[in-house]
Amino acid sequence: MIPGSFEYHRPESVDGAIALLNEHGDEARLLAGGHSLIPMMKLRMAVPSHIVDLQAIDSLHGISEEGGELVIGALTTQHEVLTSDLLAAKCPIIPEAAALIADPQVRYCGTIGGNVANGDPGNDMPAIMQALGARFRAVGPNGSRDIAARDYYEAAYFTELEENEVLTQIRIPTPAVGHGSAYEKQKRKIGDYATAAAAVILTVESGRCISASIALTNVASTPLYAEAAAGALVGTDLGADAVDTAVRLAEEITEPTSDGRGPADFRTHVAGIMVRRAIARAQKNAG
Amino acid sequence: MSKMHVKMNVNGAEVEGLAEPRTLLIHFLREQLSLTGPHIGCETSHCGACTVDLNGKSVKSCTVFVAQSNGAEVTTIEGIANADGTLHALQEAFREHHGLQCGFCTPGMITRAYRLLQENPNPSEEEIRYGISGNLCRCTGYQNIVKAIQAASDELNASKEAAQ
> Is residue B48 domain-shared with residue B10, that is, in the same domain?
yes
Interface probe with B: pick from A51, A96, A103, most Cβ of B within 10 Å: A103
Closest residue by Cα to residue A8 from B51, B114, B69: B69
We report the CATH number of the domain holding residue B114 as 1.10.150.120
- Same domain, yes or no: B63 and B106: no
Would you call B48 an interface residue with chain A, using a CB distance cutoff of 8 Å? Answer: yes
Q: What are phi and psi of A137, to 5 degrees?
A: -90, 125
Q: What angle do CA A96, A101, A104 make, to 5 degrees?
A: 100
Last residue of a domain, one of B28, B48, B79: B79
Are residues B134 and A1, on separate chains, in Cβ contact within 8 Å?
Answer: no
In a domain, B13, yes or no: yes
Mean pLDDT score across all residues of chain B? 97
* Sheet of A63-66, strand order: A63-66, A69-73, A166-173, A135-140, A143-148
Element of type H or E holding A133: none
Contacts of B20 in chain A (CB under 8 A): 5
Decide which of B23, B50, B79 is a domain's last residue.
B79
Q: How far is CA B60 from CA A116, A286, B20, B88, in A?
A: 22, 38, 19, 21
Chain A and chain B share a number of CB contacts under 8 A equal to 84
Give the pLDDT mean for B70-99.
Answer: 97
Residue B115 and residue B145 share a domain? yes
Distance of CA A159 to the CA centre of its chain: 13
Contacts of A3 in chain B (CB under 8 A): 22, 24, 65
Residue B115 has pLDDT above 70, yes or no: yes
Supply the pLDDT for residue B164.
87
Residues B16, B44: one domain? yes
Q: Are residues B41 and B94 in the same domain?
A: no
Note whether B94 and B130 are same-domain residues: yes
Partner B, chain A 155-214, Cβ-Cβ below 8 Å: 190-191
Ordered by where they begin, the domains of chain A are 7-53 (3.30.43.10), 61-173 (3.30.465.10), 180-285 (3.30.390.50)
Nearest to B136 by CA among A191, A195, A188: A191
Q: Based on the domain organization, do B75 and B9 belong to the same domain?
A: yes
B-chain CB neighbours of A5 within 8 Å are 1, 20-22
Partners of B59 in the beta sheet? B52
Burial (CB count <10 Å: 0-12, 13-18, 19+), residue B143: exposed
Interface of B with A in 74-93 (CB under 8 A): none
Say whether both B101 and B157 belong to one domain: yes
Q: How far is CA A58 from CA A168, A175, B146, in A?
A: 11, 27, 37
CATH code, domain with B19: 3.10.20.30
Q: Which amino acid is at A89?
A: A
Strand, helix or coil for residue A56: coil
| Chain A interface, best mutation among B1, B54, B65, B116, by max A CB count within 10 A | B65
Read off the amino acid at residue A250.
Answer: A
Q: What is the pLDDT of residue A88?
A: 98
Query: By three-state DSSP, how is residue B63 classified?
Result: helix
Residues B57 and B93 in one domain: no
**B117 Cβ neighbours under 8 A, 6+ residues apart:** B90, B123, B149, B152, B153, B156
Mean pLDDT, consecutive 10-residue segments, chain A of 287 residues?
Answer: 95 98 97 97 97 98 97 98 98 98 98 97 98 98 97 98 97 98 96 96 97 98 98 98 98 97 98 98 95
User: How far is residue B157 CA from its own chain's centroid?
Assistant: 20
Q: Which of A222, A234, A220, A217 is nearest to A274 (CA)?
A: A217
Residues of chain B contacting A38 with CB distance shorter than 8 Å: 45, 63-65
Q: Is residue B84 part of a domain?
A: no
Q: Do A106 and B134 touch (CB under 8 A)?
A: yes
For chain B, percent of residues with pLDDT exceeding 70: 99
pLDDT at residue A287 in the model: 82
Q: Does residue B103 share a domain with residue B50? A: no
Closest to A247 measured CA to CA, from A233, A262, A267: A233
Question: Does residue B142 sit within a domain?
Answer: yes
Q: How many Å lie between the alpha carbon of A101 and the closest alpha carbon of chain B?
A: 11
Measured between CB atoms, which of A2, A39, A51 is closest to B63? A39
Q: Are residues B33 and B68 in the same domain?
A: yes
Query: Where in the sequence is the domain holding B27, given as residue range(s)?
Result: 4-79
- Which of B47, B79, B111 corresponds to the end of one domain? B79
Residue of A nearest to B60 (CA): A105
Domain count along chain B: 2
**CB count, 10 Å around CB of A146?**
11
- The residue ranges of DSSP E strands in chain A, in sequence order, are 7-9, 28-31, 50-53, 63-66, 69-73, 135-140, 143-148, 153-155, 158-159, 166-173, 180-186, 196-205, 208-217, 224-225
Closest CA to A118 of A162, A85, A158: A158
Nearest to A48 by CA among A130, A163, A141: A163
pLDDT given for residue A1 in this prediction: 81
Q: Does A46 touch chain B (CB under 8 A)?
A: no
pLDDT-based confidence at residue B111 (cuts at 50, 70, 90): very high
Look at residue B1 and tell me whether its pLDDT is greater than 70. Answer: no
Classify residue A239 by its DSSP letter. Answer: -
Residue B94 sits in the same domain as residue B75: no
CB B55 within 8 A of CB B34: no
